[in-house]
Amino acid sequence: MRNAQRLSVPIHLERPSARSLHEQLAEQLRKAIDAGQFAAGTRMPSTRTMAEVLEISRGVVVAAYEALLSEGYITGRKGSGTYVAARPHRKEHGPAAEPVEEEHSLIDMRPGRACTAGFPLTEWRSAWRRASHHVPFAGEPPPLGLPELRQAIALHLRDSRGLVPAQHEIVVTDGYASAVRLLVQALGRPVVIGLEDPAPPRTRAAFAAHGTVVPLVVDEEGAQPALIPDNCDIVVLMPERNDPLGVRMSPQRRQEIADWAAQNRRIVVEPASDGVFSVGSSPLPSILAIGDAGSTVMIGTFCEVLTPAVRVAYLVAPRHLAEVMADQVSERPSAVCQRASAELLRSGSVGRRLSRLSTLYQPKRLLIQAALGGFAEVGLAGPDSGSSMTLLLPGDVRAGEIVRMLRRNELIAADLADYCHPDGHHRNGVVIGYGHLDDMTLRRALRLITRALDDHGLARRTHRYRRTVA
């Protein structure tokens, strides 16, 4: 079964408006095609998928597609779908079965583990074989990375995020920590770094190694622009999905922070968001897309999409910073690794893997919600995206006790307190990663978690039973 083509370009329809919905939709798609956000030959989302994502009738999408078809922007292929047409005046932009678990009882639900189900092994082998056909470099690869990999990353961002970073440069590094180091060193001064709170411990550690990290308060709309300290030189955000709360930043706040950074000559850093794995959510513009080119940076890796063994990360950095970084690069991926990564990107393997994982994770989310959603006093944060979820507990049930009980029962989970800044607001919860688990192991893990919650007297959603605390 073919995976549904996702919508990668932000679409905003005004209701009410003097213009009809199908006219608005056709105009925005037309502009995206002209801007190179949809490449010639790209398969468009089906009318059903587009209607579901934008919450409009299918007839509106059909009318918009018919208008684009008559203008030569798109073309239909019988039994295959709708594709962006090759237009002479357009200029292209842009530089199997789940594995059997090993025979041991320990279940590791710490977030960040890569999923091996359905791994594209044939394409993986082919990419490395092709990469090895080249004569080895006599010296080191170019400081910013091999041109073919940098171009492949740019095209991947266009196809997956609708980004055309024409005023930025792609800088290839050998990992997330190296990318952070290059960015801070390029600024050439001691920095104060505002980081969403909570945030993954590894992210905080990477930035704390090169500056002073202060917490940025996060609510249901993401980081709050009004509470960003005046002395912040760098603001690190997760607009598509706060990890571990799963909060998605509102468009208004994205614009406010982008404007703040441009006006105050600050840097906003956001992830490339390959780990969002969302099904059916309407794209929102990245801060890099709406912000000033000199104040926006994006950092991406392929750890969750492929494997942490691929030690390739990248920055999408302003050109003036990229020029400084070129003189400071000390560690970079090997030429073979860069070529293999470029092959995986160019072949579409990474894009297909993203879609495949999004499809695989959805039933796992539903399983978790069915098993744990019945606890009246437990909130589930991040249930619609990502590969992890957070159980928000009442104040009198300490997350640390739950984590220790689970560990005694051969299940490793993370305490939400480990994600919180020492000077920030401490939250009470348990973070569980599920994307890497097969169905049988996940069900066994959920039974252990349910038992732990029951043992702590947490109430189910019934009218007759209420938890009492001595």
121-350 and 352-455 agree in CATH topology: no
Residue 149 scores a pLDDT above 60: yes
Residue 464 scores a pLDDT above 70: no
Residue 347 scores a pLDDT above 90: yes
- Measure the CA–CA gap between 345 and 337, rounded to whole angstroms: 12
The answer, as to whether pTM is greater than 0.85, is no
Residue 216 scores a pLDDT above 60: yes
DSSP string, 162-214: ----TTEEEEEESSHHHHHHHHHHHHTS--EEEEEES--HHHHHHHHTSSEEE
Q: Exposed, middle or buried, 33 (CB in 10 Å: 0-12/13-18/19+)? A: buried
306: its two tokens: 């492929």
- Measure the CA–CA gap between 62 and 122, rounded to whole angstroms: 37
Q: What is the DSSP letter of 83?
A: E
Strands (E), 222-308: 222-223, 234-236, 267-271, 296-301
Please state which architecture CATH assigns to domain 352-455: Alpha-Beta Complex (3.90)
pLDDT recorded at residue 218: 96
Q: Exposed, middle or buried, 12 (CB in 10 Å: 0-12/13-18/19+)? A: exposed
Q: Report the share of the chain in percent with pLDDT over 70.
A: 93
CA distances from 205 to 200, 202, 316, 383 (A): 9, 5, 21, 26
Strands (E), 60-111: 74-77, 81-84, 107-108
Q: Which residue has the higher pLDDT, 236 or 461?
A: 236
The 10s digit of each residue's pLDDT in 157-208 is: 999 889 998 999 999 999 999 999 999 999 999 999 999 999 999 999 999 9
Domain boundaries, the chain: 1-92, 121-350, 352-455
Cα 283 from chain centroid (whole Å): 12
Residue 424: count of CB within 10 angstroms of its CB: 18
What average pLDDT score do residues 132-156 get?
89
pLDDT recorded at residue 339: 95
Name the fold adopted by 121-350.
Aspartate Aminotransferase; domain 2 (3.40.640)
Q: Which residue has the higher pLDDT, 283 or 263?
A: 263
- Measure the CA–CA gap between 196 and 217, rounded to whole angstroms: 6
Of 287, 227, 231, residue with least CA distance to 262: 287
What average pLDDT score do residues 234-258 get?
96
pLDDT recorded at residue 3: 61
Please state which architecture CATH assigns to domain 1-92: Orthogonal Bundle (1.10)
- Measure the CA–CA gap between 131 and 187, rounded to whole angstroms: 34
Q: What is the DSSP letter of 73?
A: S
The angle formed by the CA atoms of residues 315, 319 and 322, to the nearest 5 degrees, is 50
